[in-house]
Amino acid sequence: MTEDEGRYKFRSSLLKAVTEQENNTLRIEFFSQARALVDDREVSRSQVVQVISELMKIASSPMIKLSLVHFIHEITTRDEQEYPELFWVILDSQILFEAENDISVVGRLIAGTLIDIGGREAMRAYLTYILLTQQDENKIRKAAMAFYPTGHTVSSLQILDQVISASPSLNLDINYVWLSAYLDAEGSIFKEGTAKLSAGEKEYLKGFFTRGLSLPNEFIHQSSQKALALLEEKA
């Protein structure tokens, strides 16, 4: 098979997979064909990037974009090759902000795939940038949800705190945004510990989680209690 033939078959199979609505068996079959071409090196790395980028640009719905993200997730977790360009392809598609408000979609699939491709620090930096530059409540809400797999640094948590507190006019689901923030911040302390935190950062976190005890959400209470115990234990 020539390179042009490989690219044509890959594009054709992937396009049919993401646009097929009526028959799930056909969708699976076309996805399998596309994956096989990648696995068998019948399509080059650059062609994979080019075809996915092209299809993402012409995708007519969030569902099609999500199908492409699923495919990207599969090939980047099972293939030895790296595709750092696809980090920007996914971000440029705006699927992070177009997807439904579901933590399994925004946090696990989209943000998780972006981390696999571009790294935790790059993803966290992008989300912090969104918080700093946006007044769109949907983007702020989705950015807050997307911290789920990255966790929070003290800096990103302070910025989220400031954005919400300074923007009362935003029509956010404040309870849900705060719930995401407290769970993700507590998860970061559990995973990364407190050894690298400055005295000022520890004090901020203690104040943040102490405030969480007064918020009207049992999950935030539980998360705050766990975090405060960890901060005392590791002080």
Write down the pLDDT at residue 191.
Answer: 83
Burial 11-36 (b: 16+ CB within 10 A, else e): bebbbbbbbbeeeeeebeebbebbbe
pLDDT bin (cut points 50, 70, 90) of residue 172 is low
Handedness of CA 141, 144, 147, 148 (dihedral sign): negative
Tell me how far apart the alpha carbons of residues 155 and 157 are, in angstroms, rounded to a whole number: 5
Q: Are residues 13 and 47 in contact, defined by beta-carbon separation less than 8 angstroms?
A: no
> DSSP label at 108?
I
Judge whether residue 98 has pLDDT over 90.
Answer: yes
Least confident stretch, 15-24, 97-106, 128-137, 161-170: 161-170
Type of residue found at 231: L
* Nearest of 145, 154, 150, 168 to residue 204 by alpha carbon: 154
Write down the pLDDT at residue 67.
Answer: 93
Which residue do the tokens 């699927």 mark? 95
pLDDT bin (cut points 50, 70, 90) of residue 138 is confident
pLDDT digits (tens, 9 = 90+) for 36-68: 999 989 999 999 999 999 999 999 899 999 999
* Nearest of 127, 66, 70 to residue 98 by alpha carbon: 66
Q: Are residues 177 and 137 in contact, defined by beta-carbon separation less than 8 angstroms?
A: no
Q: Helix or strand or coil: residue 196?
A: coil
Residues across the chain: 235
Give pTM, 2 decimals: 0.83
Please, what is the angle between helix 174-192 and helix 218-233, to 10°?
30
pLDDT bin (cut points 50, 70, 90) of residue 229 is very high
| Segments making up each domain of the chain, as ranges | 1-93, 102-235
Which tops the pLDDT comparison, 4 or 109?
109
Write down the pLDDT at residue 109.
Answer: 92
Q: Are residues 69 and 90 in contact, defined by beta-carbon separation less than 8 angstroms?
A: yes
Least confident stretch, 5-9, 38-42, 160-164: 160-164
Chain centroid offset of residue 177 CA? 15
pLDDT bin (cut points 50, 70, 90) of residue 168 is low
Tell me how far apart the alpha carbons of residues 152 and 103 are, in angstroms, rounded to a whole number: 16
Write down the pLDDT at residue 3.
Answer: 75
Q: Are residues 77 and 117 in contact, defined by beta-carbon separation less than 8 angstroms?
A: no
Q: Are residues 84 and 118 in contact, defined by beta-carbon separation less than 8 angstroms?
A: yes
In sequence order, the 6+-apart residues with CB closer than 8 A to the CB of 186 are: 209, 223, 224, 226, 227, 230
